[in-house]
Amino acid sequence: MRVWSLHPRYLDPPGLVALWRETLLARKVLHGLTRGYRHHPQLRRFQAQPDPAAAIDVYLAAVHAEATARGYRFDASKFDPEARSATIAVSCGQLDYEWQHLRAKLAVRSPQVLARWEEVTQPECHPLFVPEPGPVAEWEKV
């Protein structure tokens, strides 16, 4: 499971679809609808929120908006588009780590998408997140 801290605009089509599916799985986990993935480290930052379900729905709303802007028809009935959540801090070290990780994936899978972002050195984070100084997250498998 990879729930990116990066803005979904940077993902290639397979990456955006995978993000949608994996975040829907994360939503099921946070709603207690699965047995697996309940302790997945990527979910800790959502589980730490006062309303984890609202936080994941806000996350999904931004993914849905990106997909819609690209002409995809992701099903908005899968999340609550009216959900509200406070922003979540993400460290600059985590963003840098994810940016390098994504760039490596794009180099293999979608070099043309990677080329589009070649000049980006400080990528934007997902709108739910707010960058702050710090290292790679402790839950990340480096």
Residue 41 CB contacts under 8 Å (≥ 6 apart), including other chains: 139, 140, 141
The per-residue pLDDT for range 47-70, each reduced to its tens digit, is 999 999 999 999 999 999 999 999
Q: Which residue has the tokens 């293999």?
A: 108
The per-residue pLDDT for range 89-115, each reduced to its tens digit, is 999 999 999 999 999 999 999 999 999
Structural contact between residues 26 and 42, judged by C-beta atoms closer than 8 angstroms: yes
Q: How confident is the prediction for the chain on average, in pLDDT?
A: 95
